[in-house]
Amino acid sequence: MDKKFSEELNEGLQSEKKLDKRDAHVDMMRVRIPKKDFKKARKLAGEILEYQQEHHELYAYDHTQVYVTDSTDYPDDNVWMFIDQYSNREDYLESLVNAAKSDPQSTKNRSDFYAMLTKGQTPKHETWTVLPELVVDYSNQQK
């Protein structure tokens, strides 16, 4: 994952419209897990996220969510997507690396989860940056 912003992203982030800092970036990781292992993977992912919540000092993200869908290309698999929201890209990336290196439980959690993945894939991260002037938010409006 590239730690530097492109010139266009730096320019786009200079918007006059300000958002909650946690909305600045999202990191998405998609992986495939066999459908037969769904319950086991859900339990393990829950335990890992509970550990991360209890040890927030290790992880520099503000919010995380997990989504699951059926794979259209691999009928025996589900696609799991993890989305982390954070305000500082370098701090976020550094926290993931440091947790994996210095915290034995984080290392074990990562290893255990990666063992659940369908064989032959390499998890990839995608990092996205919001353009604040292109956000619509109705959450504070009454219906």
Supply angle C-alpha 36, 39, 44, rounded to 5: 120
- List, for residues 59-70, the tens digit of each pLDDT value: 999 999 999 999
Burial 21-46 (b: 16+ CB within 10 A, else e): eebbbbbeebbbbbeeeeeebeebbe
Q: Domain residue spans in the chain? A: 21-130
- List, for residues 23-77, the tens digit of each pLDDT value: 688 999 999 999 999 999 999 999 999 999 999 999 999 999 999 999 999 999 9
Output the six-digit token pair for 136: 């619509």
Percent helix, percent strand, percent coil in the chain, to nearest 5: 45, 25, 35
CATH of domain 21-130: 3.30.70.100
Q: Is the pTM of this model over 0.85?
A: no
Quick one: how far is CA 62 from the chain centroid? 10
Residue 84: name the closest of 2, 125, 45, 27 by CA.
Answer: 27
pLDDT of 21 strictly over 80: no
